[in-house]
Structure 1
Amino acid sequence: MPNPFQDATRPLILASASATRLSVLQAAGLEISVRPTNLDEMPIKRAAPDAGTAALRLAEAKAACLDELNPDAFVLGADQILVCDGRSFDKPADLAEAASHLRALRGREHILQTALVCRRDGETIWSHLAQPRLRLRAVSDRFIDRYLMEEGERVLSSVGAYRLEGPGIQLFETVQGEHAAILGLPLLPLLDFLRAQRVLLS
């Protein structure tokens, strides 16, 4: 059965292994192929003047990995970097580091530099940087331990070591920004772009 929202002749590819980003796109009614890429991110991060620029460059580099394989497709690359008090946070390596990250973030506001880029025919044709702001409650060590026991290794897939779409919402005092952007993919700007490109029907 054809997708009632999308032009099947204009393929859409996500250059990411993120199950969360894929679920955001699928929930919006998009049909998209997934092609994870293997990128050494550290040199790009070190060369960038700030976290927002780093996120955009990383998203672009991920999409560019598929230039030769899928020249006609609309390829999406995404990246997200958490910044709190001038410090950048990557995904935690293990639950001990996850606990350390949550303790560092509690009682403070942080920004999620959330980048999304689209490439086609070897060129970047669109990019967007969302910057949701979130503040954790001054949660106790006991609450952090309980949260990580409940969520387990699922938190290792997200910067900040929390999943807003689950019980992680209980960690927060305030949340500002599009929910999908917080999850790692600014959806509303993307949908506008895809309609302009006739990937999605108006």
Structure 2
Amino acid sequence: MPSLSPPARLILGSSSVYRKELLSRLGLPFEVMSPDIDETALPGETPAATALRLAQQKATAIAAKAPDALVIGSDQVATLDGAQIGKPGNHANALQQLQTMRGREVIFHTALCLFDGRSGISSPQIQLDNIQTFVTFRDLPDAELDAYLRIEQPYDCAGSAKNEGLGIAILEKISSSDPTALTGLPLIALTGMLRRANISFFNN
């Protein structure tokens, strides 16, 4: 069974059930806490900068409540032609997003932060990374897009599609160096960060 070495408290700073499921694959004991931050992009901020800033803010917000812990923060920003695509919030906005993206390539920036407060909250070790995923949407008619939305209702997802669910049927191609990044938590990048923080996955 994998373990934390040296012993440490590992916290996932997220309210996402998908990120929780992904982290559980590593077999490490962890807690979940939901950060309360303003996720609005700053004026003139690039999509990558927004994702990285929010991932770090989420981790930092949780670390303030849990000193001496390892805190994971992650954020995702979808972009089309350089413009950010937010969470639609309702059916009409989601349909408009999918209509705009059909037949097009959308870039998803999934930022990851590991905040290591074991050396003290005033001198933490912070690792940051941004994983890009290139997603091509199928060129589907309005009726199919509308039907998909009514079935899955992905109104809390940037890009209006859940690739871990039925949304995979409206995608044509996914290209990324980290296969779980699109779902919200890039595990290849994360395991690298945890290794650098001296976390062992294969203790006997």
TM-score, L = length of structure 1: 0.91
Equivalent residues of 1:71, 1:120 under 8 A apart: no
Residues 181 and 187 in structure 1, CA contact (< 8 A), matched pair in contact too: yes
Alpha-carbon distance in structure 2 between the residues aligned to 1:117 and 1:156: 25
For residue 188 of structure 2, what is the aligned residue in structure 1?
188
Residue 86 (structure 2) aligns with: 90
Percent of aligned pairs sharing the same letter: 32
User: What is aligned with 2:200?
Assistant: 200
Q: How far did 1:157 drift?
A: 2.6
Deviation at 1:48, TM superposition (A): 5.7
Deviation at 1:41, TM superposition (A): 2.0
Identify if the C-alpha distance between structure 1 residues 35 and 164 changes in structure 2 by more than 3 Å, giving closer, same or farther: same
More helix by share: 1
Partner residue, 1:112: 108
The one of 63, 78, 96 equivalent to 1:67 is: 63
CA distance in 1, matches of 2:16, 2:95: 22
Q: Distance in 2 between matches of 1:162 and 1:179?
A: 16
Aligned residues of 2:80 and 2:107 also touching (Cα < 8 A): yes
2:37 counterpart of 1:36: no
Post-superposition, which runs of at least 4 consecutive aligned residues in structure 1 deviate over 6 A?
A: none
**Could you tell me which residue of structure 1 aligns to residue 14 of structure 2?**
16
Question: Equivalent residue of 1:65, what SS?
Answer: helix
Q: Which runs of 5+ in 1 are unaligned?
A: none
Unaligned runs of 5+ in 2: none
Alignment match, 1:128:
129
- Whether contact under 8 Å (2:78, 2:109) holds in the other structure is yes
* TM-score, normalization by structure 2: 0.90
Q: Give the residue type in structure 1 aligned to 2:179.
A: H
Whole-angstrom CA distance in 2 between matches of 1:120 and 1:175: 32
